[in-house]
Amino acid sequence: MKHTHSKTLVLSLLALLPCLALCGCDDTVKVDVHLTYDAAQDALVETEKGLAYGFASVSYEPAYVGDAYADWEETVLYEVKGWSPEVLLTEEWGGIGSMLYALDSPLPTLREMNPDTIYVCSTGTTTSCLLTVDDLDTVTEAAYYFLTGEAIALPENGDVSYSMKFHSDDYAGIYYNLVYIQRGEGEEREIFLYDRGEKRCVQIPDEVFYDWMYTDEVETVAEVSGEGLSGDGLSEGEEIVITFPDE
């Protein structure tokens, strides 16, 4: 890798791209499926249809929010594009919210997803995509170092943070989200990935994202879409499998 470029972090590379599609207001939506909480299963259930949903980890996010399907008390739950509503539902999404999965259909782990793309997005009340990492080696390295690295304490202070949304063609319609944290600059720079759902933080080598985040000229394949990021309309990558050494 080249290390002669400026170390200035690329903060804004293209016009802001909405990451997620928004839905209508909850109080105007009518649905036929009404869920209730079952404390014994710690799940939302609907006995006539035999539905039982668990609460997904906050590591998961919907790529597309579809039509209203069910409600629970005053909360409307929506379909996720590409998934059966009997398998996966989500709250109205504006960067935060909850997803529900069928108890008999657990969501894939990051390892099982075989991610092929990472969308690097801003954090805060408005989520916008800043950069698309579609190099399979880089995506695989990032996932490998996070999943096999030693867990450490979450840094108390970070200079920069981004949301890294891992996408897989095998599970299009959802993202696995890790928080990217940078501390320091230049030779003092440290990079961490943090899973909010698993409460797991791992330091990864600086060079994993160097050519994408810290060079003078960075090109992205992201395309502007008013419907959000789901992989549709973006460059298609080959299928990859993350191979881990025997332990």
Whether residue 63 contacts residue 230, with contact meaning beta carbons closer than 8 Å, is answered with yes
pLDDT tier at 215 (50, 70, 90 boundaries)? low
Cα–Cα distance between 115 and 112 in angstroms, integer? 8
Picking from 244, 245, 237, the residue whose alpha carbon sits closest to that of residue 118 is 237
CATH number of 109-213: 2.60.40
Look at residue 112 and give its three-state secondary structure: helix
Q: What would the mean pLDDT of 22-35 be, rounded to a whole number? A: 69
pLDDT tier at 141 (50, 70, 90 boundaries)? very high
Strand partners, 166: 118, 176
Look at 101-110, 123-132, 231-240 and tell me which has the smallest mean pLDDT. 231-240
Instruction: Output b/e per residue, 119-150; b: 16+ Cβ within 10 A.
Output: bbbbeeeebbbbbbbbbbebbbbbbbbbbebe
Please state the domain extents for the chain: 26-102, 109-213
**Top mean-pLDDT range of 158-162, 190-194, 218-222:** 190-194
Q: To which residue do tokens 């759902």 refer?
A: 197
pLDDT at 156: 84
The pTM (predicted TM-score) of the whole model is 0.75
Q: What would the mean pLDDT of 76-85 be, rounded to a whole number? A: 95
Residue 24 pLDDT > 60: no
